[in-house]
Structure 1
Amino acid sequence: MITMKNIILEGNPTLRTPAEEITFPIGEDIQTMGQEMLEFLKNSQDAELAEKYQLRAGVGLAAPQLDVGKKMIAVHIPNVDDETNEPLLSTVMINPKIVSHSVQSACLAEGEGCLSVNRDVPGYVPRHTRVTVTYLDLDGEKQKIRLKDYPAIVIQHEIDHTNGIMFYDHINNEDPFHLDENVSILS
């Protein structure tokens, strides 16, 4: 089971090193790690389990945050679809790649946080409003997904981790709350 002690913090060189693509067939180690990453996110969002295991809540986790330089991310966005009662997005993505994106950008009103950053970093993090992502699932099946708004921001944050980029790299150094006119703020 992954806990906070498994997550490396900013300053660790793995977080700044572009990760390697994963080749198929994948080994049991990659399969297990993907499942455990998703389990961590679900546990971190469960108030009882989060308190019991002292987990910080997260909606995404990338393999480099576990000190593993591989292109794999897990996301669990709980905003439940009212009709199906399913999570908005809950999956493991291997070798995720943004293949297209919108010209429009958006950012979260409260900024972004990260399980690998134990400090508040104020400022807007502009990202594409819409993205199309291709990836392989844990069975090696090709997937393509279109995301917008919050899920698109989460995916971009996690894919950045596989490229050695931290969220605060996107914040304007001179004016952290400056936004270009084509950026909308999501509350």
Structure 2
Amino acid sequence: MKKLISALAAAALFATLLAGCGSGASSSASASSEAASSTASEAASTDASSTEEATASVDLGAIVTAIEAVNEVPNARAIDDFSMENEMNLTPDNIVAFQGDVTNDQADCALVFAAQVKDGTADAVKAELEAYKESMSSTLYADFADKVAKAQDARIVVKGNVVVMVIAGVNGPDYSAIDTAIDGALA
């Protein structure tokens, strides 16, 4: 009986030691995790501030407003993250900031989009916008010849790290006026 009690006491002591060691390892892992999280947060904060600085250097709102002064977007819907990624099929990792409007009117096709892109990604973003333009002019508006023609003539312009896409509205101006507005907005 004494042996059984001694064995149980030893097992209890051993279990307590294991629990204590496990807790220490857990605390150590937790501390490492917190340190890594803190480092990641600091890095994200640094990235965010550099992104804010980069974004501040390009006034995307002014570009969109200047182009929309010529090419009004009827019944405008702001292009959001979901639209940018899932409708326009743009790679979010290439985009620093963006702004734009697309018509919410099924009888129209007007769109104004401006994006500041990361260094070295302007060609990739332009290619993605070309694919979007092609999808719109080949299938999306197949029943509407006027919309297809406007989409086929869409403008995609790159200047430095800024990429702009404009589709004239069905009742909008011709593209020469839009070209002038884009040149002025990007000057």
Q: TM-score, normalised to structure 1's length?
A: 0.25
Name the one with the larger strand percent: 1
**Greater C-alpha radius of gyration:** 2
The structure with higher relative contact order (CA 8 Å, sep 6+) is 1
Task: Report the TM-score when normalising by structure 2.
Answer: 0.25
Higher helix share: 2
